Chain A
Amino acid sequence: MSVSQKHPYHLVDPSPWPLLGSLGALASTIGGVMYMHSFAEGGTLLSLGLGMILYTMFVWWRDVIRESTYEGHHTFVVQLGLRYGMILFIVSEVMSFLAFFWAFFHSSLAPTVEIGAIWPPKGIDVLNPWGIPFLNTLILLSSGAAVTWAHHAILAGSKKQAVYALVATRRPSDYRGNFLITSFFTGFQGMEYVEAPFTISDGIYGSTFFLATGFHGFHVIIGTIFLIICAIRQYLGHFTQTHHFGFEAAAWYRHFVDVVWLFLFVSIYWWGGN
């Protein structure tokens, strides 16, 4: 390898993680099917696959952090690529939710005779949208505000040495506050699931409700982990005022999850509960 690099691109080193991740996905898929069809050791293979995926995520992202933070490979052009990548990832997630909303509206706008031709179907005792769901709306919006607060804290940086300590101590707490907020969302949503009078096996209402809100809840958990990682990296001093794309990606993700919830709340809980 030449000592000086005459282009801004990051030519990555060979890595075993794509292969390991693929094997993990294969084991998870086969293990998942075996588990759900009650084959022997299906659960073991599923756990093994999920473990491989989690391990791949950990070491692969560890390598990315090494390449960017310690080796300085994330130039302007590389960061642009990361931005495109994150945007495309979020767009693909939007498409998943679009499919779930399609299923919901397909089933609810013209309910079939089998469920009494009404929505919600007869016999379904729906949740009150103005109880915990509305509280969760406020909680997610608060977490969005806290992310913006954290972003400006990073951008403002430590220009004034006099307030350096204050900013340094406050900054990690910004994130901590934020992922505490979203943990409350997850907790309340869990309570709501346990107390809900219907389940995912209660016809099309239960299926569409738990598929959409469950998938969203899973994304809230992912976003929370993403922000926890950002908090740790901020604490370790990985982010600068001008280079903190890891945080920005987490903020984009958080806002995406917020917007999805607003649509879920308005259509499934509110409109779909009347």
Chain B
Amino acid sequence: MAGFLRSNSLISSAIFRVSARSHAPAARPSAVFTRFFATAHEHDDAEEMQKWRNISIAAIIACTALAIYNFSGEQHHEASEHPIEYSYLHIRNKEFPWGPNGLFEHKEH
């Protein structure tokens, strides 16, 4: 039965595998057993490795596409010419140990 269920499609097999496990406890005795005597798992892991490899590659392609889209568009929005100097902005109670500007701070502030 487990063999028949394995031949199902990838998505449904994950669901079926759970039921197959409960019907055939001898094949998958316990979480501890499968972790420390993992040879029974190797086939599944090879499959899973392939699946996650494909997912990773698809994700990297999506990231690359989004990065290209982001950096090709007009990025730099213009800050207002004369920003109002609210009292709670650009707080300076004392000098930084390394000089007048904060880290990651524009020089023109």
A-to-B contact residues, CB < 8 Å: 35-36, 38, 42-43, 76, 114-116, 121-125, 128, 131-132, 134-135, 138-139, 141-142, 145-146, 148-149, 152-153, 155-157, 159, 174, 177, 181, 184, 193-194, 196-204, 241-242
Contacts and interface: CB of A to CB of B under 8 A. Distances in A.
B42 A159 contact: yes
Contacts of B104: 193-194, 196, 199-200
B86 A38 contact: no
Given A135-B66, A148-B52, A241-B38, A122 B60 contact: no
Contact of A135 (B55, B63, B87, B97): B63
15 contacts: A42-B97, A76-B36, A124-B89, A128-B77, A148-B55, A152-B49, A156-B45, A157-B45, A177-B56, A181-B60, A199-B103, A199-B105, A201-B102, A202-B91, A241-B42
B33 to A, nearest CB: 11
Give 4 closest A-B pairs by Cβ, nearest first. A142-B59, A149-B52, A156-B45, A152-B49
A142 B60 contact: yes
B45 A200 contact: no
B38 A202 contact: no
A139 B103 CA distance: 25
Contacts of A174: 53
Given A155-B49, A181-B63, A199-B103, 7 more contacts: A121-B88, A124-B89, A155-B48, A156-B49, A199-B90, A201-B105, A242-B38
A100 B4 CA distance: 51
Interface residues of B, number: 44
Interface string B53-95: 1011001101100110010000101011001101111111001
Interface in B16-58: 35-39, 41-42, 45-46, 48-49, 51-53, 55-56
A194 B104 CA distance: 5
A152 B45 contact: yes
B97 to A, nearest CB: 5
A54 to B, nearest CB: 21
Given A156-B42, A193-B104, A123 B89 contact: yes
Secondary structure at the A interface, as helix, strand, loop or mixed, is helix
A173 B46 CA distance: 16
B37 A149 contact: no
B65 to A, nearest CB: 10
Contact of A199 (B52, B53, B102): B102
Given A152-B52, A155-B45, A203-B88, A35 B60 contact: no
A129 B46 CA distance: 38
Contacts of B87: 114
A227 to B, nearest CB: 14
Contact of A156 (B35, B46, B62): B46
A5 B103 CA distance: 55
Which of B41, B80, B89 has the most chain A CB atoms closer than 10 A to its own CB? B89
A203 B59 contact: no
A76 B37 CA distance: 12
Contacts of A157: 38, 42, 45
